[in-house]
Amino acid sequence: MSGKDFWSLRPIERLGIPSLNVSDGPTGLRSTNSDPATVFPVGVALAATWNPGLAHRMGEAIAREAIAYNVDVLLAPTINIQRTPLGGRNFESYSEDPFLAGEIATLFVQGVQSQGVGTSLKHFAANNQEHDRMTGSSNMGERVLREMYLSAFEATIRRASPWSVMSAYNRINGTYASENQFLLEQVLRKEWDYDGVVVSDWGATKSTIGSVNAGLDLEMPGPGRFYAESLKMAVASGEVSPAKIDEHVERILKLIERVGLLDGNPKRQRAAVNTAEHQTVARQVATEAIVLLKNENNALPIGTGNRIAVIGGAAHRPTIQGGGSSQVSPYRIISPLEALRKAWPDREVLYAQGVDHEVRAPVIDYRLLRDENGEEGLTARYYDNQSLDGDPVYTERDWRLLKLGFGKVGPLQGSTAFAVEWSGTLIPESTGAHEFMLSHSSPEADLTIDGVTLIGGEMPIEREKLFMFLTLNARSAGCHMVAGQSYALRMRYRQPADTDFPGFNLLKLSLRTPPPSVQDAIELASTSDVAIVFAAPGTTAETEGEDRKDMSLSKDQVELIESISARCRKTIVVLNSGSPVEMPWADHVDAIVQMWLPGQEGGYAIADILSGKVSPSGKLPVTFPRIYRDTPSFLHYPGGRQVDYGEGLFVGYRYFDKMEIEPLFPFGHGLTYTRFEIRDVSIPAKAALGDTVRLSLNVSNTGMRAGQDTVQVYIEDRATRETRPLRQLKSFEKIFLEAGESTSLSLDLGASAFTHYDIDEGKWLATPGSYLIHVGFSSVDLRQTIEINLYAD
């Protein structure tokens, strides 16, 4: 009932039960050895496609990569509701709306599990901020909990039966999720009839008896702290019954059986990593996720202008994913700049960085490095001892200098002493002060430049910080460097054997380069036909372990956008972020495009949209507020250890609608390059409570080109006297239509589309009376409204 190490369960050889392996996650398979896998767009981007079928395909692809890395259960998807725009893990989560989150999650889980790989639906529950994430209590009434924070879990569990669920770090109304009888026993097991494994988030188990009796099956990571000796003692003393242990063990065995381990793991032949097909899926998700927020004077797609200025560090070094446990080692990174140059081979596509947009020093750009054979990256040598004695046991070219778990010597994690040395040449692109930062989980690591030790010496290990994914043992040092010169770089990592704590190894080498010239960028933009400005919070800004401090882009970037829009004929801003940013410049630019954190193929995706090869079809899965102060949880966040969810049911658009606050861009919004219309909406005038009713309508593409749009159905409950949101999303469908084409759609609204959770009755109920059905292309762009009356049978 507890792990063997960080990523696997204990085998029981005497019974022929093999070890089961798990790994993250939501944006692709994270190899526990930091080996590469396809980096897909992050969760919020997947949700922005509003295309559950695509979520299925992404799930299948990630599962095949999991199989290739011998991973049986994928620790994904993350479906927590985006409650505050500052949430550090918003990028990983799907939406502010439980219905959309549930639809995407259901198909993602089905996709993964169709390949024989399990999923772990996380984090159960109400894990909506990183601030105080290990101890904070998410406090709210039962109706809010059920309707806003549990319903995406409920929908996914009922329809897709994920083989495991991960209990969250936080408390809910004072009780830790991993020992929460109400959540695990009452709701999950009894009401939802869940038969899978409940695994604790890494380090989220807080007790022995309380957790076992509440329903936590598995403590991770191993070796167990609460589910080891103390569990044996609790059984011996009678505080935990053997029958209870049997229940947990049976579920774990069932999981081992479900993933095929007892049948010799037949799924192995499906293994595949970074195939052309997986790249295509990653690209399609990234493309369909891109949201065209604003497009005036037909600024997009970019027409005939010859000289195109591409501005902003994110064009050349994009943020392809967020930070923390979901981080995948990429096979390749297609930058927007590179992809735009490929898309427009006959045009002048010129680049200027403009400003340094990074909050912290970013991971060193491998394009500045050469290994011992002159190729991009460094030469890595692995030794089976700490003193780098003898011949290396493994040598490779390595360019991914952010590692979440590695060590190619003996058992991957823990018990073996090993060391790695990376060496090669650094050739700076600019002259000036270069600031290096080395972060690592081992007690010893060093960095030398041209034989001089810049960073070195021993450090104590900060184990507790392991789960925060921040800068562990981070040390910085700078030196002056000259553009184009070669500097010998060597970095070493030494890990002693640690049998008490077979933790996992983390390492990151970051480099902040000298500031670029703003003037050059402005000059370039003002002498070009169009300026495409890539703006971003930065590669370290959105991460597990900490929330964002605010919703703004750096002052420098805001000023750069303002200066360029004042001088350039046409300014297009592309946002490379996982969450909304404030856009005080929104009225001054011609077009705004949200490209999210788009995964390794994101460059191709944005080039397809900007060049007009594909009509944009992404829709916002979260409201983009004008300013942070306008957001629903503004008065109730971060809340210290006690986080009162004072906005109640009014999360996201439910708040903006009710308060009549106009957001910058509403939930569900996203423009296309063509035009869609909705006609002939019909529904029966009456239906019995509990019936499924069919909504029919026609959609036409009345524009000049093919494209996709998403028909969205919001229900306004006028019958219930309880407090309730004005309108709630209850159905949607994405459709593709050629120019001039029409189609008819039928959307079924099941009983649950009309219910609210009734505290007194202790169940979901619908009130007899009138409901308005609004059909449109966003939560505020409602084209048709029709009424239905529900009567009690």
User: Which of the residues are catalytic?
Assistant: 201
Q: Is 403 in the site for ligand BGC (CB under 6 A)?
A: no
Angle between helices 602-611 and 276-289 (to 10 degrees): 50
Report the residue number, 96 or 201, with the smaller CB distance to ligand BGC.
201
Cβ proximity to ligand BGC, 24 vs 371, nearer residue: 24
Please report whether residue 676 would count as binding ligand BGC according to CB under 6 A: no
Cα–Cα distance, 462 to 484 (Å, whole number): 38
- Interaction residues for ligand BGC, span 718-737 (CB under 6 A): none
If the CB atoms of residues 200 and 416 are measured against ligand BGC, the closer one turns out to be 200
Strands of 647-741 (E only): list them: 676-682, 686-688, 693-701, 707-717, 728-737
Q: How far is the CB of 201 from ligand BGC (least distance, A)?
A: 5
* Shortest Å distance, C-beta 202 to ligand BGC: 4
**Which C-beta is closer to ligand BGC: that of 325 or that of 712?**
325
Q: Give residues with Cβ within 8 angstroms of 143, minimum separation 6.
A: 649, 756, 757, 759
171-172 β-sheet, strand order = 175-176, 171-172, 137-139, 642-644
User: Counting contacts by CB under 6 A, is residue 202 touching ligand BGC?
Assistant: yes
Q: Among 1, 5, 24, 530, which residue interacts with ligand BGC (rule: CB under 6 A)?
A: 24
- Residues ≥6 apart with Cβ < 8 Å to 587: none
75 binds ligand BGC per the rule CB under 6 A: yes
Kindly identify the residues of this chain, within the stretch 107-136, that bind ligand BGC according to CB under 6 A.
122
CB of 122 to ligand BGC, least distance (A): 5
Window 34 to 53, contacts with ligand BGC (CB under 6 A): none
Using the minimum distance from each CB to ligand BGC, give the nearer residue, 92 or 147: 92
Q: How far is the CB of 467 from ligand BGC (least distance, A)?
A: 5
Q: Give min distance, CB of 56 to ligand BGC, in A.
A: 21
E-strand ranges in 29-117 read 73-74
Assess 504 for contact with ligand BGC (CB under 6 A): no
The residue at minimum Cβ distance from ligand BGC is 325
Tokens of 674: 């063509």
- Residue 748's beta-bridge partner residues? 694
Angle at 713 between CA 707 and CA 715, to 5 degrees: 165
Q: How far is the CB of 421 from ligand BGC (least distance, A)?
A: 27
Number of chain positions touching ligand BGC (CB under 6 A): 8
- The token duo for 667 is 């939930």
- What number of residues does the chain have? 793
Query: Which one, of 597, 624, 611, lies nearest residue 542 by Cα?
Result: 597
CA nearest neighbour of 764 among 751, 780, 777, 776: 751
Burial of 242 (0-12, 13-18, 19+ CB in 10 A): exposed
Q: For ligand BGC, give the closer residue by CB, 25 or 414.
A: 25
Tokens representing 234 are: 């609790």
Give the residue with the Cβ less far from ligand BGC, 201 or 582: 201
Establish if 201 lies at the interface with ligand BGC (CB under 6 A).
yes
**Residue 548 neighbours by CB distance under 10 Å:** 23
What torsion do the CA atoms of 474, 388, 490, 32 make, to the nearest 10 degrees? -50
8 Å CB contact between 567 and 348: no
Is there binding between residue 153 and ligand BGC (CB under 6 A)? no
Nearer to ligand BGC, 7 or 714 (CB): 7
SS3 611: helix
Least separation, in Å, of the C-beta of 22 and ligand BGC? 8
Cβ at position 740, least distance to ligand BGC in Å: 47
* Both tokens assigned to 394: 């493994």
Phi–psi pair at 592, nearest 5 degrees: -135, 130
Subset of residues 316 to 375 that bind ligand BGC, contact rule: CB under 6 A:
325
Binding flags for ligand BGC, 460-489, as an x/- string (CB under 6 A): -------x----------------------
Judged by CB, which is closer to ligand BGC: 162, or 424?
A: 162
Residue type, 697: L
Give the separation between CA 752 and CA 790, rounded to whole angstroms.
13
Q: C-beta of 496: minimal distance to ligand BGC in Å?
A: 23
- What is the C-alpha radius of gyration for the chain, rounded to an integer number of angstroms? 26
Q: Which residues bind ligand BGC (CB under 6 A)?
A: 24-25, 75, 122, 201-202, 325, 467
